[in-house]
Amino acid sequence: MFYACGDYNINLLQSDANHKIASYVNSVTSSGSFCLIDKPTRLGESSATLLDHFYTNNLTTPITSGILESDTSDHLPTFVLIRSYIPPYSSASYKFRRHLNKIDYEQFNNELYDILQNKLSHNGMNTHKKFDTLVSTFKNLLDKHAPLIRQSRRERKLSQKPWITKAIMVSIRHKNRLFSKICKNRTPSATNAYKK
């Protein structure tokens, strides 16, 4: 099982018109993998391209993927949620945080190094198994040295950024609505309204 993502600079939306891109798509899909992102991730005033790819051959684990409407970059941010890596103790009613201020990083690193030296030294282990071992070892050590603790009411309140006023929130929502219009309908009037 593998995951590969990045800005590939290959516009998948042109696979019907460009034989090189079609050949690339065929070689990827013939290996049993597929791209989780299928809509434009870069929007120009008169163009839309799909340059940001996320490939996997995982057909068994529930995966949720999508594109966020955000103007922080000229590429829309993409996300992929892989069910097996969601911690089982997450809850809608409580928020948790890592207790990182008391972690002994030197001890953590030494322990991680020792465990991985022992586990990854087997020659028969393939790359995918080694990666899974690395992730599970790191997570187990993180749970040991920096366990998740429930946020207090005060911490939850502080995490909501009290310096952002209601007026600023209204302005942010207005800006996001204008950007959403650009994503849906790239007209000069929508672009000008957003820039203004």
Tell me if 181 sits within 8 A of 194, measured CB to CB: yes
Domain assignment present for 146:
yes
Domain count for the chain, please give it: 3
Same domain (yes/no): 19, 53: yes
Same domain (yes/no): 81, 3: yes
Tens digit of pLDDT per residue, the chain (196 long)? 889 999 999 999 999 999 999 999 999 988 889 999 999 999 887 889 999 999 999 888 889 999 998 888 889 999 998 876 555 554 456 677 787 777 888 999 999 999 988 888 777 778 888 888 888 999 999 999 988 888 777 777 666 676 777 788 889 889 999 998 888 888 888 888 888 8
Same domain (yes/no): 182, 131: no
- pTM here is 0.50
Q: Long-range CB contacts (< 8 A, 24+ apart) of 110-119?
A: 111/141, 111/145, 112/137, 112/138, 112/141, 115/141
| Helices 105-119 and 127-145: angle between axes, nearest 10 degrees | 150
Same domain (yes/no): 133, 177: no
Domain assignment present for 155:
no
* Parent domain of 51: 1-86
Same domain (yes/no): 76, 101: no
Tell me if 98 sits within 8 A of 146, measured CB to CB: yes
